Amino acid sequence: MLIRLGYEIVFETPAPVPFVALLKVHASRVNDLRKLDELKINSATHFECYPDSFGNTCCRFLAPAGELRLSNSTLIHDTGEPDPVAPWAREMPVHRLPKDTLQYLLSSRYCEVDRMSNIATELFGGIIPGWNRVQAVCQWVHEKVTFGYQYANAQKTALDVFTNRFGVCRDFQHLAITLCRALNIPARYATGYLGDIGVPVSPAPMDFSAWFDVYLEDRWWTFDARNNQPRIGRVLMAVGRDASDVALTTSFGTANLQQFTVVTDELPQHEAAHI
């Protein structure tokens, strides 16, 4: 299938402001693109793109004072298959994990592994290690935490979510990531496009989504504590230790958000046939 991806984000900047944006499709999905994945900016200088330490594509630029408009529209090919499920996937002992996965066992800005180790052991220590234990974590977070956009709070950590039991998409993932790391399972935060493909259409405006990956057997696998079901059409943009590593835009100065629109739609077959 083909999926139409796009966004339009508008800021008002009272003075020139440097920006870093992580709005491009992740390098692992670049070969699936059917149109150019280009960050369009109405006015900016000193523009350059570079890979960060997690392999994400970052773009930095200097926005002049006034209106800053970031936009993109592209097409990507997707298999149309839901997230893979692998109940046979085993946990690896820490001493055998690949070196680049070890950072995803440690505490980070929103994931206080050291403060939640006992909690994770009490809740999930008795479950057979592997895929089913990670799924048990997902199931628990999905059932115990209440979702609501009114609960958005950029300061909220995994321990806050565990204590208060409410949050938005990223909060579900932070709590699940922290519990997995406390069980010595590498877990990383992921963000990207996730449209309502194969599921009832949400009445809420489309947004970028968060999920998380865990390292089992010999690869990364996708889990989603918010939705807690395999989904079709995930398009990865960035990965990191938690949300602080993958902010869609970071401004080094005042930038007031005026508009935020995201598009993630399956292209109708009659249109896709002509691409």
Average pLDDT over residues 95-113: 97
Residues 135-170 pLDDT 10s: 999 999 999 999 998 999 999 999 999 999 999 999
Q: For residue 272, name the pLDDT band (cuts at 50, 70, 90).
A: low
Average pLDDT over residues 18-38: 96
Contact at 8 Å (CB) between 171 and 240?
Answer: no
Domains in the chain: ranges and CATH? 2-80+248-267 (2.60.40.2250), 94-245 (3.10.620.30)
Q: What is the pLDDT of residue 268?
A: 83
Average pLDDT over residues 79-87: 96
How far is Cα 21 from Cα 71, in angstroms, rounded to an integer? 12
- pLDDT at residue 274 above 80? no
Contact at 8 Å (CB) between 44 and 63?
Answer: yes
Q: What is the pLDDT of residue 205?
A: 83
Q: For residue 130, name the pLDDT band (cuts at 50, 70, 90).
A: very high
Q: What is the DSSP string of 146-169?
A: EE-GGG--TT--HHHHHHH-EE-H
Q: What is the pLDDT of residue 273?
A: 64
CA–CA distances in Å: residue 64 to residues 18, 249, 259: 9, 16, 18
Residues 46-79 pLDDT 10s: 999 999 999 999 999 999 999 999 999 999 999 9
What are the E-state strand segments in 83-169? 146-147, 166-167
Cα dihedral: 177, 97, 107, 231 (round 10): -20
Average pLDDT over residues 125-141: 97
Q: For residue 270, name the pLDDT band (cuts at 50, 70, 90).
A: low
How far is Cα 275 from Cα 211, in angstroms, rounded to an integer? 30
